[in-house]
Structure formats: C-alpha cells, structure tokens
Structure 1
Amino acid sequence: MKTNLLARIILLLALTFTSNKGYAQLITNPSFESTPTGQNYIPSSWTKCHYYSTPDTQPGGWNVTTPPSHGSSYLGLVTRGNQGPYANTTEDAQIQLSSKLKAGKKYNFSIDLAYSVTQGHPGDNYDFISYANPTVLRIWGGVNDCQKTELLWESPTVDHTNWQTYDFSFTPKLDEINFLILEAYYAGPQTYFGNILIDNIIEKKTEEPSGCVLETFNVFTPNADGYNDVFYFKSATKIARFNLQIFNRWGKLVFETDDIDYGWDGKYKGNECAAGVYYWSVNYMCIVDESIVDYKRKGTVTIFR
C-alpha cells in the first residue's frame, strides 16, 4: 500500500512538471513516468494511435535494460521489417497539448534520445528477432486525434546507445495544432526492425537576439509548383554579413550562399537532392542600435518531394 502511494505521488509530480523558469509545459508527463513499466504499457497521459502496436514504458521490456536519463522510466518505440502480421509498420505515441500551438510562433525543445542493442523478442519459429538497429524520430503536429497533420521535426539517425540531448525548434505553419505525435521511422529507404528510446522532452523558453531575428522554416517542397519551393532566411533587421551552409546527413556541403536573398532550391550541382533531413549553419552580422553584433545558428530542414 505504501509503495503504491509513493508511486502515485511520484507520478503526480511528473504530470504537473513545470520548468525551472516557472511556466507550465505544453507536454504533460514529459519524462514518460508510469506505473507499471515494461512491454505493452504506454506512459501515463500518452496514448497509442494503432490498435496493433502499443509503445513501451522502459526499461524492463523486450530485453531493454538502459537506465533512464531522467526520472524512473522512458518511452520505447520500434519500427518493423518485412516479417510478421504487422510487417513494415512503425510505432508512435501521442500526447494532447496543454494548449494549442500557434502558426508562425517558434517553439524550442530539448529531448534525450538513444537506442538499444539488446532489444528483440522470439519469432514464430523460436528464432530471435532483433530490433537492434538505429532509427530516426519524427515529431508530428496534429489538429485532430492521431492525425499527422504537419511534420514539425525529424532527428538525425540515433545510432548511439548512451543518452544524448538534442536541441530543436519548429515553427508551425498551421494553426490549431492540438496534439504531438512521436514516431519511430526508418533511417533509409528500406524497412527494417529498429528501435528508439526517448526521455525528457522539455519545452524551453529562449530569447531571440534582441532586434536581430532571422526567420525561416523547417520543411520545404521543391517541386516547381510555385509554393514553398525554396529554403531561405529573412530578417526585418539590416544584415551586414550573411553566410549559409547546408549539409547532407553524411556531412557533405550541398549548398552555400553569402546572399540572404538567395535561397536553396533543393539541388546540388543541378541535380535534385534526395528527400530527407539536411543540416544548416548560418553566420550573420546584424546592425542594431548602431552596434554590430555577430550571431551563429544551426538547425535542420526537411525536403519533401
């Protein structure tokens, strides 16, 4: 009885989490605390979107033993290969936000990610099906329940077994986003059995440089339809110097410009780049109140075709 009471108190504290700056988080239970833990138990306040697959509250299920990065538990998601009744499917978990996202507003988050090299389970023929392959994490915004309305962020391939913190931001194009959906997804064009471990997703309140703000977006569709064909930056402030570099996931430079008015059309040497996540780094100098200030920012952009 005392053990159950203590567990409920810990869970209540997790569900009412606020940041150290005192504001309420958009996400309830950001540390994925839950009782009980193990396979086929989804963390409290989170829900599944498919009847055939239940995310897991780890550690303790499917041979996963990685300790949490925060609190006492975390979320585990998988991808599936071409075996079994649910072949070639991905797993996701959804949370209803404490307030709806606003179109055009920038949101900043951090999240802890890893993967397990021991995860797996027995197959139909008593063979062992290993899920010990890295995946990526996709974060979707949904207007309605379990509706993947807008892709907000995609991680690089999470190929490390130790927890690493990823800082990311997104600016929704759509209003009325009421849900966030976390989805494990394949790191390449082929389907396979893989997994990702997720902990401690925290909204961060960060101040933009006063008077010196660059605006951009994190998804574009260079398909020559005249809409959202070019990835670019804009600023209401006078920019004295600007340099943008864009790299693919292997670190190869695919685009560079020193002109803020010249954007990337999704091509490299005249050829279309593959759909997926690319990484940008921008260095710029602003003139604010007769002072010259240098800034550097990094982020990701996703090509959809």
Structure 2
Amino acid sequence: LFFCLLFFRKDTQAQNLPFTVNTANGYAKINNQLYDFSIGEMVLIQTFQVSNTTLTQGFLQPFLIVQTTADVSIVNNILTPNGDGKNDFFLVKGLEKYPSNKLTIFDRGGRTLYLKTNYQNDWDGYLNGRALMEDTYYYILDLGVDGTIKGFISILYKK
C-alpha cells in the first residue's frame, strides 16, 4: 500500500511544486529517489505552499489534501465547570470547519460517557444532568476523512 500525504501552505503556485510521483510494481520513484513499498506500508509526508486555487498542472489530484487537522486545536483540557465563564466547557478551535465531527468522551474504564455528532463546544462535564466526579477523562474527536484527535480532559472543582 502506498500512501502519500502532502500538506500545503497558501502561497506557492502549482507550477512551482517540486514533486513528481511515479509508481509501478510496489515501487515508487519520487523526485528521482526510488522507494520500495513491497516490504510493507510506508507513509511519506511532504509540505508545500499553494495558492487558494486547485492544483492541476501535472499534479495527481488524489494526493492533494488542503485542509488538515492542523486547522483544529484543543483550547482547554481542564474543565472547572463552576459557571464563572472560565473553562466551563470543553472548547475546540476550528471545529466549525468540520460539521460532521463526532466527539466521544470516556472514563478511565473505557465507558462512553458522552457521544455527540456535530459537537458545538457545549460539553460542560455533566452526564445526564449531573456533574461528573473530579477526575481525568479521555476523548476522541473524529473529523471524518481528515483524521482524529485524541487526548484527555481533567475536571477540577474548587474546594
């Protein structure tokens, strides 16, 4: 299996991309360097810059990925749901670009506590109207074809 993932920034024109890929019989020749894929899977990652237009000039379109999970970032992984307006919700920046996202939150034992498609930055550390215990929980944010983001959330209450 050959998989090539390319990330692009916004200011290089298509004709300036220094990247060519030729594949055959488990081998790939990329910019005159030979790669042997017959021994197993391999992932190549390369970063370029592009304008806001679609690349067409001699470039294989299936390798074009413009939007990446780099567009999304976790704002806070500590919740202090006390109504003071600070860290009351689990916030994800850039989520509006992924309306089909799915957020799942688990406890330490792997039990699903929260599952929401099209998450809107509105989880406040509650389950069925009751505050979860002060603890560390784990999340998976599924962004569809652009991948997943995994991490933890700690819920803390002032004493």
After TM superposition, the score normalised by the length of structure 1 is 0.27
Cα deviation per residue 1:206-246 (whole Å; 9 max; x = unaligned)? xxx74742111211201111221011212077214200000
C-alpha contact (below 8 Å) 1:211/1:237 kept by paired residues: no
Work out whether 1:254 is the aligned partner of 2:106.
no
Letter in 2 for 1:281: I
Aligned positions, number: 90
For 1:297, the equivalent position in structure 2 comes to 149
Structure 1 consecutive aligned stretches of length 4 or more whose deviation exceeds 3 Å: 209-212
CA distance, structure 1, for counterparts of residue 139 and residue 123 of structure 2 = 11
Q: Distance in 1 between matches of 2:143 and 2:147?
A: 5
Matched, 1:215 2:67: no
CA contact (8 A) 1:233 1:260 kept: no
Cα distance per residue 1:120-168 (max 9 Å; x no partner): xxxxxxxxxxxxxxxxxxxxxxxxxxxxxxxxxxxxxxxxxxxxxxxxx
In structure 1, what is the Cα distance between the partners aligned to 2:95 and 2:88? 22
The 3-state SS of whatever aligns with 1:241 is coil
One-letter amino acid of the counterpart of residue 72, structure 2? L
Q: Distance in 1 between matches of 2:88 and 2:123?
A: 9
128, 131, 135: which one aligns with 1:269: 128
The answer to whether the 8 Å contact 2:99/2:118 transfers is no
C-alpha change, 1:271 and 1:211, in structure 2 (3 Å) is closer
User: CA contact under 8 A between 1:267 and 1:273: conserved in structure 2?
Assistant: yes
Give per-residue Cα distances to partners, 1:8-47, cap 9 Å, x unaligned: xxxxxxxxxxxxxxxxxxxxxxxxxxxxxxxxxxxxxxxx
User: Within 1, Cα distance between the matches of 2:128 and 2:95?
Assistant: 31
Q: Mapping of 1:95-114 within 5 angstroms?
A: none
Q: Residues 243 and 226 (structure 1 numbering): CA distance in 2 closer, same or farther, change over 3 Å?
A: same
Q: Aligned partner of 1:241: which letter? A: S
Measure the CA separation in 2 of the matches of 1:258 and 1:251.
Answer: 19
- In structure 2, what is the Cα distance between the partners aligned to 1:223 and 1:239? 28
Q: In the alignment, is the contact (CA less than 8 A) between 2:89 and 2:121 conserved in 1?
A: no
Give 1:276 deviation, angstroms. Answer: 1.2
Higher relative contact order (CA 8 A, sep 6+): 2
Report if aligned partners of 2:90, 2:121 keep a CA contact under 8 Å in 1: no
Partner of 1:238: 97
1:16-165 map, 5 Å = none
Q: 2:151 and 2:106 mapped to 1: Cα distance?
A: 11
Q: Tell me the distance in 2 between the aligned counterparts of 1:211 and 1:229.
A: 24
Q: 1:262 deviation in Å?
A: 3.9
Structure 1 match to 2:142: 283
In 2, Cα distance between the equivalents of 1:280 and 1:270? 19
Q: TM-score, normalised by structure 2?
A: 0.50
Gapped runs of 5+ residues in structure 2? 1-66
